[in-house]
Amino acid sequence: MEQRSGAVSRPAGAAGALVRRMTEKLKNVTIYTDGGCLGNPGPGGYGVVLLYGARRKELSGGYRRTTNNRMEIMAAIAGLGALKGRCAATIYTDSQYLANAVMQGWARRWRANGWKRNKSDKALNPDLWQELLELCDRHEVTFVWIKAHAGTPENERCDALSREAAGRLDLPPDSVYEAQQNRFK
């Protein structure tokens, strides 16, 4: 135990870091996400709505050739990446793939198995899963699946943002996806 004059004793090292993480007061942030493509694969976009108290922030982006699933993951990455400091984040997504991969531990298993889903099948999108898992490790994150196009205003807004982004004419390349596709030609 680390002793400091006039201070409460706290464990040192990794144990101390764990205790500090468990007792810190985190900001509760709500994040809505959506991603999609105009054709799959095709031009794609993602939309994000972040809510913290009375604050609201919208984010969007897109790529000239990508997939629906990559855009769903990118939306979560963009949302978590926009957070300042460690937060407790609840991410609402209409992607069961995204929600289950994190909450059921699939993505962590894929990573532990060298980005393999099983002995013969590679996990798709390991570049994005790696980035998302690192962000999830920085924050306390819960993913909640919600039904698409069911009238949830923030989900509908994310859908509109993702479609607007996918329709832009000046979209950058999704370099990792395009490089993977070029290898299989």
Q: Is 35 a catalytic residue?
A: yes
Name the active-site residue from 36, 94, 139, 154.
94
> CA 129 to CA 105: how far, in whole Å?
12
Classify 13 in phi/psi space as left (phi over 0), alpha (psi -120 to 50) or beta.
Answer: left
Name the active-site residue from 34, 44, 47, 154.
34
Name the active-site residue from 72, 79, 154, 174.
72
Q: Is 170 a catalytic residue?
A: no
- The tokens describing 47, both together, are 């939309």
Name the active-site residue from 35, 36, 62, 79.
35
Name the active-site residue from 44, 45, 159, 174.
159
> For the chain, where are the alpha helices, taking DSSP H only?
13-23, 68-81, 96-103, 106-112, 126-138, 153-166, 175-183
Name the active-site residue from 6, 149, 151, 170.
149
Q: Is 121 a catalytic residue?
A: no
Q: Is 156 a catalytic residue?
A: no
> Phi/psi of residue 64, each to 5°?
-70, -30
**Which residues, at least 6 apart from 28, have a Cβ–Cβ distance to it below 8 Å?**
52, 87, 88, 89, 90
| Whether 117 contacts 65, CB under 8 Å | no
Residues involved in catalysis = 34-35, 72, 94, 149, 159
